[in-house]
Structure 1
Amino acid sequence: MTETLPPKQRASLPSRWEPAEVEARLYQQWVDAGYFTADAASDKPPFTIVIPPPNVTGSLHIGHAFEHTLIDVLVRRRRMQGYETLWLPGMDHASIAVHTLVEKALVEEGTSRRELGREAFIERTWQWKAEHGGKILSQMRRLGDSVDWSRERFTMDERSNRAVLTMFKRLFDEGLIYRAERMVNWSPELRSVLSDVEVEHREVEGELVSIRYGDGDDALVVATTRVETMLGDTAVAVHPDDERYAHLVGTEIELPLVGRKIKIVADAHVDPEFGTGAVKVTPAHDPNDFEIGRRHDLPMPSIMDETGRIANTGTQFDGMDRFEARVAVREALREQGRIVAEKRPYLHSVGHSSRGKHEPIEPRLSLQWFVNVGPLATAAGDAVRDGRVAVHPKSLEPRWFGWVDNMHDWCISRQLWWGHRIPVWYGPNGEIVCVGPDEQPPTGEGWTQDEDVLDTWFSSGLWPFSTLGWPERTPDLAKFYPTSVLVTGYDILFFWVARMMMFGLYAMKDDGPAESIPFDTIALHGMVRDQFGKKMSKSAGNTVDPTVWMDSYGTDALRFGLARVANPGTDAPIGEDAIQAARNFGTKLWNATRFAMANGADPNAEIDPSQLTDADRWILDRVGAVTAEVDALLEDYQFAKATEALYHFTWDEFCDWYLELAKVQIAESPARAANTQAVLGNTLDVLLRLLHPVMPFLTETLWTALTGEESLVVASWPRLTDQASTSNTAASQRIEAVQKLVTEVRRFRADQGLQPAQKVPARVIGIDDAGLHEHLDAVRALAKLSPAEDGFTASATVEVGLASGSVRVELDTSSTIDVAAERARLGKDLAAAEKELAGTEGKLGNPKFTERAPADVVAGIRARRDTAAADIERIRAALAALPEA
């Protein structure tokens, strides 16, 4: 840190804060100075956070801005506290999203990825990344993210690929990765499996069709929302205890339209109370039917190809699209008289792809690669149970256990080309060989590599340690693993967080239980919603582009507004008015700092305890308390409460009271001026340090101008000092009494319609007895009262009861207001209040209203009545206090 400059060389501040003129320049200065670059050889305690890697296709949305703000608050504070901080940035290769974009471009060019071939397509995709990927990284700079750009990673860079191959090989060799036919989420558009996180379930209007299988007394009626799948039925199932069908269990029935015989089986999964109590079983196209099929060893024919067209049924429906076939099959059944009932519209939940055209996904039996998550999930659950990893807030622990304790095996293969290709080779005689990163793949005729790539979540699951150099034992891995905290949304607790926990515990297990965890704490936040609490979506038209708010109000306003609604584990409603309020707060702080500097605020001066006034002691007491409060709240990830505490201390106490009191002290006592300026400067210094993690650009500009020092980024975090301990309760009580006295006089002035800056002659009686004799000048200055002169005649009196005694302020308002105009104004207000009182009492006096209206409505009317009555009393008192016209 550079040597402190003398006050005369400190920078001056312009009249207004113009964030657009300084933000980019300041950020680049920080990067160039190396403030964000971590040192693995440092002896400082480490504090590590890895960024939840955004998609390479992505741009900054409000959720990113929210999460990044919270992470940056933690990182900047720890850096100031003397930790060796590493916030490691990077991006996810986003297989499906990139595939969709590149394939769309190819279609526009009149070609396709299959015409290009795999190698040419991958080359084209890398080209797309170089030209279009990473937009969000520049937006992160604009947001002020204090990340270590020298360590930027990508989930498909060389080091990440080595980690992926190593993990796959180890899991494969231990039998924790296997290949099998299982039910998956299939996208006909992409011709690939989708992960659960890429499937959105929503209610749609469909149809429920009841179909008669068989004829005569042994006929069965089944109902389905997907008529076309009956072509793949291999059984009808009934409940074992359902006496209606007991005589049919074990027999066969003919499948309409197809003509083959299918079994009637008894299975406890069937709900005998739903519909007819008989259900069709299509094992290759329904997850529940698949399980029934496994239990009863049923055939599992697939009747759709990878594009969603009917295939292999031997019927006239082969070649039809699944939705076309749905209509055709239904009408064919109708012609045979087998449609018993139709319910339309029928509301039911259908999974849709969150990618591409948002098509309905197809449950499909498919040969895929899976991770046996059993032992991995158990370890992930145990790490939280035994306290090695804390879930914050703790109330979300049950959600964690609900997922990891009931996790299904994870399908990790995707039928795409962009991604980590599965490192498995198949030989001409059925051999299967998994190849690690340092091994040569088998050669010779007939050997081929698996065509599929890995699920994106596989590589991002390695993120906390692959980014630090694993599988090598790098200095970064030794210094910064385990990471300190993972800040992420509760909505991906299962999809991403659980995978990182499983892989971290597995990969680093040789380091011991405490060292193998990927992070000490999982700090969960909610989703950002609009100001009405509604989920943001393009269809609802309530999405927010955070860069627009940054353009209008500055980055610090966006960050402060977002932090102010960030309560652990709960959703965060935000609207433009909150960002406007944050901008106004920044303006207040800017003006306050300019005012303080103009009045000689000096953070470099020593404070003389013997020269402290009550106001000095009070503000030092308050800044110490706020420092302790903010520390405790940020340790508990209570961003909203910490930000709120800083907001009210800054605005309500420092700006509205101490600045004004200090101004009086400097003017009335030159002997004490230097000490007051020292207190003022030191308090502002601490305040700017406390605010820096949330508002880095504004505070950096103000602090360097105030102190003449190098940068607030690397300044120390404020700690409670002896200066703060010089305060005492008696001094604070006296200042609180002054505040109450001034506030009551100001309220009277406002009621009288006096201009805020208008001086009023007044006599203050009882201030000595109340122990406030040293504060008379301050009371007069803050309440805009001038001393009573000869011939003074009081026209109004304000009586203020204080803990130390009563103070009476007699005022002469005769020459300061237009009495006639004021009587007229108060008369109108009185008439309006009396009308409101009469109206509300009329409603409350009507039994029909009070008995029939909702309780909250009645309570609201009572509140309006009470307010009107209080207004009448206040206005009548104001009228009585006016002098005769």
Structure 2
Amino acid sequence: MTSTLATGYDPTSFESRLYAQWEASGVFAPSGKGEPYSILLPPPNVTGTLHMGHAFQHTLMDALVRYHRMRGYDTLWQLGTDHAGIATEMVVARNLALEGKGETRDSLGRDGFIARVWDWKQHSGDTIERQMRRLGTSGDWSRSVFTMDPMAANAVIEAFVRLHEEGLIYRGQRLVNWDPVLKTAISDLEVLNQEEDGFLWSISYPLSDGSGSLVVATTRPETMLGDSAVMVHPDDGRYAALVGKTVTLPLTGREIPVIADAYVDREFGTGVVKVTPAHDFNDYAVGQRHGLPLINIFTPEAAINDTAPAKYRGLERYAARKAVLADLEAAGLLVETRPHKLQVPRGDRTGQAIEPYLTDQWFVKMDGLAQRGMELVERGDVKFVPANWINTYRHWMENIQDWCISRQLWWGHRIPAWYDAAGNIYVGRDEAEVRVKHALGADVALSQDADVLETWFSAQLFPFSTMGWPDKALMAERGFDRFVPSSVLVTGFDIIFFWVARMIMATDHFTGQVPFKDVYITGLVRDSHGQKMSKSKGNVLDPLDLIDGISADALVAKRTTGLMKPTDAPRIEKATRKEFPNGIPAFGADALRFTMAALAGPGRDIKFDLARAEGYKNFCNKLWNATRFALMNVGDASFEGVPAPVTDAEKWILAQLDRASAEAAAHFASYRFDLLAQVLYEFTWNQVCDWFLELAKPALNGDDPAAAESTRHTLLHVLESLLRLLHPLIPFVTEELWQAVAPKLGKSGSIMLQPYPQPGQSAAAGYARADADIEWLKALVSAVRRIRSELGVSPAKQVTLLLRGGSADDAARAARFDAQLRFLCRLERIEALAGEPPAAAPAVVGELQLFVPLEGLVDLDAERVRLDREIARVAAEQDKSAAKLAKFGANVPAAVVEQEHARLADWSGKLDALRAQRARLG
């Protein structure tokens, strides 16, 4: 590794090089020594690319892993990727269309299409892993698991068979979310509920006895073809006499009952609703309570099927809606049509409206598993951070439904169930086991279930399928007993239901362990305005573009390619060119990582602002320049061990280092990465770079060889310790700088394997006196520098400092720090003042009064004239603002009034400062 530093900080010159060296050296693998510490990576989709949520969570995980590795733990970051059934099928199908050879999913057939998926995965599916490396992910790539790998697939089959044998998996007909484009059931997580403009249609349902009619309102009139009842509230006196009668369902001639159920909202519409159990989840529950028939009117493509009257059969659902409405109007049964806001469930992959659809699917019984999963969390075996997220977990577990685990796809883990000609179902690990288990001869034809398991089924097994379960030899080889449960799971609140809860239940059920001890729940990364990042909004940021930079043209092309609505492209291009006229500069991985850590507060939303990334790139540059300064001042000298400080400045910075180390440890333990970043930023920028480098200069340039030598040693020691403190957050620049600093302290290897600084490792606790003295010195230097700045005194100009009052400690400190004060404040002399000062700029530090005489620094007469003129101008502005506020009426927006109050406060503050400055001149 390099031992010399370039003159300027350029992350692109070393980040990729360093990562390749780390990975090749094997430092990411568990050491086999120390207490185990493990993290399970939420496996990203193999189809995907690194997005800002990934960059955020991966930064936090990597910081934890690097920190514990440096603490001497036997550290494992278990990596992996998910096969992402629906997403992958869509990507490969789209690629087939783009090839223009006429091949489709159906024309290739199941085996041919799956072969193409594997081919695509091999050549293109590792994109996200390459991007994770660019971010600095220090996980053990040699152990990375793809959820379709043989080891993981074997766990899936075993889990399914065992659950079926235990009576916890069954096949049945129930209502599911159905995507009519993909023609598969999908999970709640894959459904986006969007508020849209629609209509509410009121329809008259004639009573079968001819005594009148009931008016119902619906947003989906086509589904009335599948109605099983109309329903009123049992306490609604308007309709009490009608309960038990029947109405004639318009357009079908079927008679359906009038029933009573407390589900009805008496205040909505007429207080009468239609019940369509096969096409509405709430109606399904009503139908189960009242024993209503389930009438499915849709095909898998959401066209009207043969259960409906002949004239509607084959019509697509929205075409059927138009036909139904037209026929109702012609029959005089369409009472009213009015605009209505409604929530439309849409598939997140296709954008199509999702249908509640009645099909035969495989389900997992969840009641018992959920009760056990709740017990484990309530008694503290698994802890949520922040703790309030247990309420979200508890709410879902207490209202859990049986889980639909089958998907009508080809890519995924095929369900290990076989059917004979009579439709009998046999479950086993493979067909051979099924035949032996059920004594089925070769003459009995069997066909395997065509469905696959949904991705979350395999994902729930990830904590132990990655450890070789159920193969005991593999489990021993991969360290199941050592690394399960893992130490912490870092994930978003949006998948507490779909993944976290299921991992807790599954890991306990199959292994008797919890999957992890802590669950650190992060917020969602949004744009700088708090908006969710999405392609349709055109506000997506690719973390790789922030790391390596991107031109404006390339950014526009990326944001406008593949839009669901191509008509959005002009709007997105205009907004992008306005926000990023020059594209996005290369900030480097470290600046992005520090930004992510600094934003990782305990709230839900994380507003990402590029200005923060720019600021933290400057932070890395500051660290780079500080290291170059230290190396230049140390020269060829080298040191070993902990320094024995001579000067107060050294003792002070060692005490500050001890304090920063203690705070860093506390913030790592509590997952407060925002506070960690704040502490390390403050210590680096203010204490080390701004103050200690300045306080060291008098000793480095002075006449005391012992002080100079000691200061060089302390400077190197503090800088090397600082690099280790910062390494988990900004690994690249700290490694590059450490390679230049470490040899001078007799250290070698990689910073990754160095001990993380711990409090109490030096005599820093005994430096309280020096700590207090230097804080006094800092306050006095700051006061003098502030005076110089206000007066506009040239940095090269020497001034006089007069001191009056104060304590005996102040006098002793002024004498002891005479040389430092002269150097740092550019003082010609320091004098004690007994009487009144001449015309001078004053300041106060504790009980000590400071004065800088103005004679010779400024033209007093000219300065008086200038100040009088400026006071008059600012006073006029203050009066204008006050008059404006006085004229504001009640109709002026509150924001405008607030803005004017802020202006008035600003002018008033400036005026007070100017008058105080003028008073000093007499």
**TM interval, short-chain normalised:** over 0.9
User: Match for 1:493 among 483, 492, 496?
Assistant: 496
Amino acid at match of 2:166: E
Matched, 1:713 2:752: yes
C-alpha distance after superposition, 1:833-872 (max 9, x if no partner) = 212321243356x3x6497767786666555444433322
User: Match for 2:792 among 723, 744, 753?
Assistant: 753
Give 1:800 shift: 3.2
Q: Are the aligned partners of 1:56 and 1:92 in contact in 2 as well (CA < 8 Å)?
A: yes
For 1:772, what is the secondary structure of its paired residue? helix
What is the match of residue 512 of structure 1? none
Q: Are the aligned partners of 2:206 and 2:212 in contact in 1 as well (CA < 8 Å)?
A: yes
> CA–CA distance in 2 between the matches of 1:772 and 1:374?
75
> CA–CA distance in 1 between the matches of 2:855 and 2:193?
70
For 1:319, what is the secondary structure of its paired residue? coil
Give 1:827 shift: 5.1
Q: Are the aligned partners of 1:525 and 1:568 in contact in 2 as well (CA < 8 Å)?
A: yes
What is the match of residue 425 of structure 2? 432
> CA–CA distance in 1 between the matches of 2:793 and 2:298?
82
For 2:312, what is the secondary structure of its paired residue? coil
> CA–CA distance in 1 between the matches of 2:900 and 2:769?
43
Name which of structure 1's ranges 778-787 and 821-830 shifts more when overlaid on structure 2. 821-830
Q: Call closer, same or farther: CA 1:658–1:191 in 2, change over 3 Å.
A: same
User: Match for 1:871 among 894, 910, 914?
Assistant: 910
What is the match of residue 571 of structure 2? none
Equivalent runs, 1:450-461 vs 2, <5 Å: 450-461=449-460
> CA–CA distance in 1 between the matches of 2:84 and 2:855?
72
Name which of structure 1's ranges 860-869 and 103-112 shifts more when overlaid on structure 2. 860-869
Q: Call closer, same or farther: CA 1:662–1:459 in 2, change over 3 Å.
A: same
Q: Are the aligned partners of 2:418 and 2:431 in contact in 1 as well (CA < 8 Å)?
A: no
Equivalent runs, 1:69-88 vs 2, <5 Å: 69-88=59-78
Q: Are the aligned partners of 1:484 and 1:519 in contact in 2 as well (CA < 8 Å)?
A: yes
C-alpha distance after superposition, 1:40-88 (max 9, x if no partner) = xx24211111111110110011111011000000000000000111111
> CA–CA distance in 2 between the matches of 1:667 and 1:588?
22
Matched, 1:297 2:291: yes
For 1:683, what is the secondary structure of its paired residue? helix
Give 1:595 shift: 0.8
Give 1:23 shift: 0.9
Matched, 1:271 2:305: no
> CA–CA distance in 2 between the matches of 1:427 and 1:711?
62
Equivalent runs, 1:127-276 vs 2, <5 Å: 127-214=119-206, 217-276=211-270
What is the match of residue 811 of structure 2? 769
> CA–CA distance in 1 between the matches of 2:812 and 2:841?
15
What is the match of residue 48 of structure 1? 38
Q: Are the aligned partners of 1:214 and 1:220 in contact in 2 as well (CA < 8 Å)?
A: yes
Matched residue count: 856
Equivalent runs, 1:493-532 vs 2, <5 Å: 493-509=496-512, 516-532=513-529
Matched, 1:119 2:111: yes
What is the match of residue 6 of structure 1? none
Q: Are the aligned partners of 1:391 and 1:523 in contact in 2 as well (CA < 8 Å)?
A: yes
> CA–CA distance in 2 between the matches of 1:276 and 1:51?
53
Amino acid at match of 1:630: A
For 2:813, what is the secondary structure of its paired residue? coil
What is the match of residue 325 of structure 1? 320
User: Match for 1:702 among 725, 737, 745?
Assistant: 737
What is the match of residue 797 of structure 1? 840
C-alpha distance after superposition, 1:407-444 (max 9, x if no partner) = 11110000000000000111233432111269634354
What is the match of residue 587 of structure 1? 621
User: Match for 2:725 among 678, 686, 690?
Assistant: 690
> CA–CA distance in 2 between the matches of 1:168 and 1:73?
36
What is the match of residue 600 of structure 1? 634
Amino acid at match of 2:325: R
Give 1:795 shift: 7.4
Q: Are the aligned partners of 2:643 and 2:717 in contact in 1 as well (CA < 8 Å)?
A: no
Gaps (5+ residues) in structure 2? 436-441, 549-585
Give 1:175 shift: 0.7
What is the match of residue 573 of structure 2? none
What is the match of residue 833 of structure 1? 874
What is the match of residue 565 of structure 2? none
> CA–CA distance in 2 between the matches of 1:57 and 1:644?
36
Give 1:620 shift: 1.2
Name which of structure 1's ranges 741-750 and 763-772 shifts more when overlaid on structure 2. 763-772
Matched, 1:463 2:482: no
Amino acid at match of 1:150: S
Give 1:298 shift: 1.4
For 2:337, what is the secondary structure of its paired residue? strand
Amino acid at match of 2:323: A
C-alpha distance after superposition, 1:489-534 (max 9, x if no partner) = 111111111111111111112xxxxxx1000000000000111222
User: Match for 1:20 among 9, 12, 18?
Assistant: 12
> CA–CA distance in 1 between the matches of 2:701 and 2:334?
95
> CA–CA distance in 1 between the matches of 2:489 and 2:188?
22
Matched, 1:678 2:713: yes
Q: Are the aligned partners of 2:346 and 2:352 in contact in 1 as well (CA < 8 Å)?
A: yes
For 1:217, what is the secondary structure of its paired residue? coil
Q: Call closer, same or farther: CA 1:330–1:524 in 2, change over 3 Å.
A: same
Q: Are the aligned partners of 2:837 and 2:851 in contact in 1 as well (CA < 8 Å)?
A: no
Q: Call closer, same or farther: CA 1:438–1:187 in 2, change over 3 Å.
A: closer
Matched, 1:104 2:143: no
> CA–CA distance in 2 between the matches of 1:349 and 1:813?
76
> CA–CA distance in 2 between the matches of 1:583 and 1:828?
42
Name which of structure 1's ranges 250-259 and 636-645 shifts more when overlaid on structure 2. 250-259
Amino acid at match of 2:825: A
Gaps (5+ residues) in structure 1? 3-9, 510-515
What is the match of residue 478 of structure 1? 481
Matched, 1:571 2:637: no
Matched, 1:624 2:658: yes
What is the match of residue 536 of structure 1? 533
Name which of structure 1's ranges 760-769 and 855-864 shifts more when overlaid on structure 2. 855-864
Q: Call closer, same or farther: CA 1:43–1:692 in 2, change over 3 Å.
A: closer
Amino acid at match of 1:762: T
Q: Are the aligned partners of 1:57 and 1:97 in contact in 2 as well (CA < 8 Å)?
A: yes
What is the match of residue 353 of structure 1? 347
Give 1:297 shift: 1.4
> CA–CA distance in 2 between the matches of 1:294 and 1:741?
80
Q: Call closer, same or farther: CA 1:851–1:210 in 2, change over 3 Å.
A: closer
What is the match of residue 677 of structure 2? 643
> CA–CA distance in 2 between the matches of 1:696 and 1:881?
51
Q: Are the aligned partners of 1:524 and 1:569 in contact in 2 as well (CA < 8 Å)?
A: no
Q: Are the aligned partners of 2:460 and 2:503 in contact in 1 as well (CA < 8 Å)?
A: yes
